[in-house]
Amino acid sequence: MKILLLGSGGREHALAWKLAQSSHCSAVYIAPGNAGTAQVGTNLDLSPLDFEGIRKFCTLEGIGMVVVGPEEPLVKGIVDFFAADPSLRKIPVIGPSADGARLEGSKAFSKRFMERHGIPTAAYREFDSSNYTEGIAWIQQHPLPVVLKADGLAAGKGVVICQSTLEAVAEYELMIQGSKFGEASSKVVVEEFLTGIELSIFVLTDGKHFLTLPEAKDYKRVGEGDKGPNTGGMGAVSPVPFADTAFMDKITQRIIVPTVQGLGAENIDYRGFIFIGVIKVGDDPFVIEYNCRLGDPETEVVMPRLKNDLVELFLAVAGQKLDELTIGEEERTACTIVAVSGGYPGSYEKGRPITGLDQLPAGDTDSLVFHAGTRAENGAVLTNGGRVLCITSFAETVYEAVDKSRDVLEKIYFEGIYYRRDIGYEFL
Ligand code: AMP
Ligand code: GLY
């Protein structure tokens, strides 16, 4: 079967790498991909949001399955677009309908969904121009810190944790009246701040059944010791040492089961990944957020640890037969370190040549290089984004895995290269 994968980051390189290993897969096409995905498949000059272009390509090339990496095509209804077209209807698309993608596309929807199904999450209120002044009064009496969330998609920047009431009111005003995130912040969720340690849970559901993939922890701050501004993610580890069986059981019973059952009860067609951002408060799990896709860079540790044939899992999702399969996990720890362009997450240069990518010792199966923001040009690989490369390594311990990835990174160079040397530090 020929498979089309949408997206261009490290997550998509890891997915393409895993798809290409499947006995069901004859070719992987990536729209648009990066220099790394081109090593395992064929890149296309096609935007993940160009549904008409995707339709043409699928029809022309006889694509048998579409896998959606990022959230935007899902929130914009690519699954519904396929379902509505008689020539595309038979092609499974891995991802939820636009209805289901609201779990990520609207914070207010996801909070109400959790409320309806008794899923533990931070207490909140939602405000827009219709109850604007009520919101100010609410913020003024709210304990600190207080969390403000733009309702819609805001490229990962829509969550602001405010340490003072003054800052919170200013931010609230900026979001709703100043349209800080455009239409996405015309509605704002004001939420209680939860204190604890976070982890990322990945559920694959066919709408009736579900399987839980290996969990992961990502490191969002740019600086070592979790300091400095938020990024898309600077590294990840899997498994997560504190996610023991007792805690994972609580997550399953209190969060995953009611989420999947809730989607079914509301007749939402959801056949894809649910990424649940969970925070451990004391001994109890609370949902911080849902995403309708896999995480990045978590995928770069989750896919390498997954022993299953990924296409077999996806075929079971499409046929609603996930109950017939189980997940196999690599026992060893995987760690990924993300190398970024100097200046990221602020402004940075692109087009810097990358050297040392072929320096992995021959026969080294413990380390993998996943490309994120890269592109190939005349035989060279150039930087093409903030997050450039993800180096994933396996070892018995977090310490050794991080050490191996750092060893590989020492041999790789581009002007301005930066990476955190302390991924997994709290588990060392
Ligand atoms: P984002 O991934 O941009 O949605 O950022 C969300 C991040 O903000 C989470 O990973 C948490 O670290 C933090 N966050 C969001 N909501 C809360 C909350 N209620 N309490 C504490 N931290 C939160
Ligand atoms: N690593 C967090 C995310 O993908 O949203």
* Integer Cα distance of 121 and 194 in angstroms: 9
| CATH code (residue 149) | 3.30.1490.20
How far, in Å, is the centroid of ligand 2 from the Cα of 166? 29
Two structure tokens written together for 310: 């990924």
Tell whether 173 is covered by a domain: yes
Can you give the pLDDT at residue 362?
Answer: 66
Model confidence pLDDT, tens digit, residues 210-265? 999 999 999 999 999 999 999 999 999 999 999 999 999 999 999 999 999 999 99
Ligand 2 pocket: which of 291, 292, 294 to mutate (most atoms within 8 A of CB)? 291
Which phi and psi angles does 306 have, rounded to 5°? -80, 125
Verify whether ligand 2 is closer than 6 Å to residue 126 (CB atom): no
Ligand 1 pocket: which of 153, 161, 280 to mutate (most atoms within 8 A of CB)? 161
* Ligand approaching nearest to the C-alpha of 298: 2
Environment class of 173 (CB within 10 Å of its CB; exposed 0-12, middle 13-18, buried 19+): middle
Can you give the pLDDT at residue 156?
Answer: 80
CB-CB contact of 377 with 383 (8 Å): no
Tell whether 118 is covered by a domain: no
Can you give the pLDDT at residue 404?
Answer: 95
Tell whether 148 is covered by a domain: yes
Ligand 2 pocket: which of 157, 290, 298 to mutate (most atoms within 8 A of CB)? 298
Can you give the pLDDT at residue 110?
Answer: 98
Can you give the pLDDT at residue 140?
Answer: 97
Contacts of 117 (CB under 8 A, 6+ apart): 258, 259, 261, 262, 265
The closest residue, in CA terms, to atom 2 on ligand 2 is: 295
Question: Do residue 76 and residue 180 come from a single domain?
Answer: no
| CATH code (residue 41) | 3.40.50.20
Verify whether ligand 1 is closer than 6 Å to residue 148 (CB atom): no
The closest residue, in CA terms, to atom 3 on ligand 2 is: 295
Can you give the pLDDT at residue 273?
Answer: 98
Residue 54: CA atoms inside 13 Å, Cβ hemisphere, count? 29
Question: Do residue 208 and residue 245 come from a single domain?
Answer: yes
Last residue of a domain, one of 85, 111, 135: 85
Kind of pairing between the strands at 380-383 and 333-340: unpaired
Question: Do residue 347 and residue 213 come from a single domain?
Answer: yes
Last residue of a domain, one of 192, 212, 227: 192
Last residue of a domain, one of 143, 171, 192: 192
Tell whether 90 is covered by a domain: no
Which range marks the domain in which residue 155 is found?
Answer: 123-192
Can you give the pLDDT at residue 19?
Answer: 98
Verify whether ligand 2 is closer than 6 Å to residue 233 (CB atom): yes
Verify whether ligand 2 is closer than 6 Å to residue 10 (CB atom): no
How far, in Å, is the centroid of ligand 2 from the Cα of 407? 25
Q: What is the pLDDT along the chain (428 residues), one digit of tens a residue?
A: 999 999 999 999 999 999 999 999 999 999 999 999 999 999 999 999 999 999 999 999 999 999 999 999 999 999 999 999 999 999 999 999 999 999 999 999 999 999 999 999 999 999 999 999 999 999 999 999 999 999 999 988 899 999 999 999 999 999 999 999 999 999 999 999 999 999 999 999 999 999 999 999 999 999 999 999 999 999 999 999 999 999 999 999 999 999 999 999 999 999 999 999 999 999 999 999 999 999 999 999 999 999 999 999 999 999 999 999 999 999 999 999 999 999 999 999 999 999 999 877 666 779 999 999 999 999 999 999 999 999 999 999 999 999 999 999 999 999 999 999 999 999 98
* Integer Cα distance of 236 and 214 in angstroms: 12
Question: Do residue 170 and residue 230 come from a single domain?
Answer: no
Ligand 2 pocket: which of 110, 200, 237 to mutate (most atoms within 8 A of CB)? 200
Question: Do residue 231 and residue 329 come from a single domain?
Answer: yes
The closest residue, in CA terms, to atom 14 on ligand 1 is: 288
* Integer Cα distance of 22 and 17 in angstroms: 9
* Ligand approaching nearest to the C-alpha of 10: 2
Question: Do residue 27 and residue 162 come from a single domain?
Answer: no
Verify whether ligand 1 is closer than 6 Å to residue 193 (CB atom): yes
Write the DSSP assignment of 363-381 as a string of letters.
T--SEEEEESSEEEETTEE
Question: Do residue 21 and residue 53 come from a single domain?
Answer: yes
* Integer Cα distance of 277 and 290 in angstroms: 6
Number of structural domains the chain divides into: 3
| CATH code (residue 255) | 3.30.470.20
Can you give the pLDDT at residue 227?
Answer: 96
Tell whether 99 is covered by a domain: no
